[in-house]
Amino acid sequence: MFSSFMVNAWIVGTIVAVVAGAVGFFVVTRGSAFAAHALPNGSFAGAAGAVLIGISTLIGLVVCSLLGALGIALLGRRGRPDVATALVLVMMLALGSLFLSLSSQYAPAVYSLLFGEILGIGSNELAPTAALAAASVLGLAILYRPLMLSSVLSEVAQARGIRDFPIELGFLVVVALTAAMTIPVVGTLLVFTLMIGAPAAARSVTDTPGRAMTLSVAIAVGTVWAAIALSYDTNYPVGFFVGMISAACYLLGRLVASLRRRPARTATNVPAAVVRT
């Protein structure tokens, strides 16, 4: 399980889990799950386009996911954010299918883009992944304070003069970089699931932002490690285990939260709404 070709899988899996767990905390807190689904899913168009014009797939993914982030932020300014996300996503997917039909040599790779090939990562993919991960984490660190404020207490953030649009755009750019970095190695499925399942589980257990973020990273890393080990043993795809373990973590978190909340509510008689905020 720790032979030389598996080492890359462990390293990349851990990097991806740490970034996805941290970014995912904000995804869940801000209610941006749709954008976190749309950006990784849609940016396959970039990969297809890159093949068509003969440049590196990674560059195509980065460019396309950044354009997607810009599109969602701009369209979302006037109109409903979920509508903007849906329209940008279908436009990206439609462009992707156009590129696929024009190049007509890329179809088999769609499967690996969607579901990832973490067990087949070459050493030459480590450096770009690590670089993009560093960029995501750096972006998150720069945005951290205003982002936390606008995610957790949006009224206070507005009162302090923090404008929504730059924060939202910056955040979507971080999600886009995370997506571009993870798609070639683990697929769009795995990154989306990690960005939702682990932080949602963490948030249902604790309300303190810092603690929830740490817990989210820990759950994400645990999920990926367990999934790689199980996939190695059983030969079933990693994405399947990540999906199932994430959902199980979330259900467990909800269960713990409901068990803990019930005696607390009867003891102090505080309305649940007050406790949750």
Partner 1 sequence: MTVIHHLFEPGFFASGPVHTALLVSAVAALVAGPLGVFTVLRGQSFAGEALGDIGTTGGSGAYLVGVGPLWGFLVINVAAVTLMELIGVQRHRGRDLATGIVLGAGLGLAALFLYLAATHQSTTGAAVTVLFGSLFSVAGSTSPLAIAIAAVVLVLLAIVGRPLLLASANPELAAARGIPVRLVGYVYLLALSLAVALCALTIGSILSTALLIGPAASSLRICRRPVWAAAAAAGLGIAAAWLGILLAYDSYAWPPHHQGWPVSFFVVALVLVIYLGCGVARQLSGSAR
Which residues within the stretch 96-135 sit at the binding site for partner 1 (CB under 8 A)?
A: 97-98, 100-102, 104, 107-108, 110-111, 114-115
By beta-carbon proximity to partner 1, the closer residue of 135 and 239 is 239
CB of 101 to partner 1, least distance (A): 5
121: left (phi over 0), alpha (psi -120 to 50) or beta: beta
Instruction: Record the tokens describing residue 82, joined without a space.
Output: 């979920």
Q: Does the footprint of partner 1 cover residue 255 (CB under 8 A)?
A: no
**Cβ burial 63-89 (10 Å sphere, 16+ → b, else e):** bbbbbbbebbbebbeeeebbebbebbb
Residues 222-241 close enough to bind partner 1 by CB under 8 A: 236-237, 239-241
DSSP letter assigned to residue 79: S
- Report the largest interatomic distance among the alpha carbons of the chain, rounded to a whole angstrom: 66
Which one, 12 or 27, has the nearer CB to partner 1? 27
CA-wise closest residue to 186 among 10, 59, 33, 34:
10
Count, residues near partner 1 per rule CB under 8 A: 51
Residue whose token pair is 């769009």 = 188
Q: In the stretch 43-82, what mask flags binding to partner 1 with x, by CB under 8 A?
A: -----------------------------------xxx-x
- Amino acid identity at 235: N
Closer to partner 1 at the Cβ: 171 or 241?
A: 241
Residue 122 has phi, psi (to 5 degrees) of -85, 160
H helix and E strand count, the chain: 12, 0
CB of 36 vs partner 1, minimal distance in Å: 8
Q: Can residue 95 be called a binding residue for partner 1 (CB under 8 A)?
A: yes
Residue numbers 184-203 binding partner 1 by CB under 8 A: 189, 192-193, 196-197, 200
Spatial contact of 8 and 121, defined as CB atoms under 8 Å apart: yes
Least distance to partner 1 from the beta carbon of 120, Å? 14
Where does this chain bind partner 1 (CB under 8 A)?
28, 31-34, 36-38, 78-80, 82-83, 85-87, 89-91, 93-95, 97-98, 100-102, 104, 107-108, 110-111, 114-115, 189, 192-193, 196-197, 200, 236-237, 239-244, 246-247, 250
